[in-house]
Structure 1
């Protein structure tokens, strides 16, 4: 499976009329957040590929409409009180934040935990305790995957980094130890994150924790792994 991974800053190589010739062979697109929805729309319309995303701690104008979305809102444009809502000017992507999603076409399981460490009173920021309980809410779906698909999850998609693995020392960019616990318990093949800007594009993006490869997907990264995807289910990938 070949995945176009994006995060934090729009990339002129992606946001280009040549996007199809450069990235037309990818299977899916994954975003770790802090990007405008119109960027996702451009990618989806240009490549016609599935896109999975979480929100970070910036570009949060429409976050509440994804988080608070109800069946009435998604189907008819009304909230539970019968009031008309303005839907985000966006369609086609899969919101993975706080969810465990299964891409049936590619046989891929993605869990998403967006947001950053709480450093002020801004939106989509969490204490370590809050992030841990966000993870705990995923356990039933992860257990279902383990029982019926032979593994817990393939990719954990986050915005922030794991603690001590490519994070930074300031409060805003400090990583979550919850992600270390997730990797230890649920053994994803990859943890993909953003948030930590790589001013030197030759800087190290990669870390390893237990059985998981941790990758900073800042701006643009191609993940090419034949072991991911359809045909690798039911324990065939060693999970």
Structure 2
């Protein structure tokens, strides 16, 4: 769908599409309570709302929140967009589905606190946001709830799976796709090669969607 995107807000790309496709195949029931973390333009939140969900969308960027609100309003979809840091704005709330397309690009320092780069910079190993989501999101999953998070394999799939399983969730990779590097990764390719994160000449990355389910024991 065509979305309004102010300057500085993350443009929906291949990772957004992969996450949206996976959500549509996930078996999400109509009426589900959905939380979209790092919503950007609200693309995934809108897809959930089109599937009949009641959606809360969160982003640290004021421009992103305004974009998500406007895109939802133009389509008359039930999306509540709020500004805040990851799950802090929804403290104490439970959701049937949590989705996230967080920043995951490996960088050279801590993620910036301001500017457009917040949408992709994720610290030295690309896990600054991923690790926090793995820690915090399980506490917000309702009984039989699921988490869907998209990331690059360059940021470490095994650590994400281990962290979610360590929280008692059943986690696995449910979707994969190889995508050519975007402008940020192309500009950083030489550095990534020097660090051994990509092979010489590599200009693509594998994107994965990890699904984690809260499976309650039944008597």
* TM-score > 0.5, shorter chain as reference: no
Please classify the TM superposition score into its range, dividing by the shorter chain length: 0.3 to 0.5
Report 1 or 2 for greater relative contact order, CA contacts < 8 Å, sequence distance ≥ 6.
1
Higher strand share: 2
Higher helix share: 2
TM-score when normalising by structure 1: 0.37
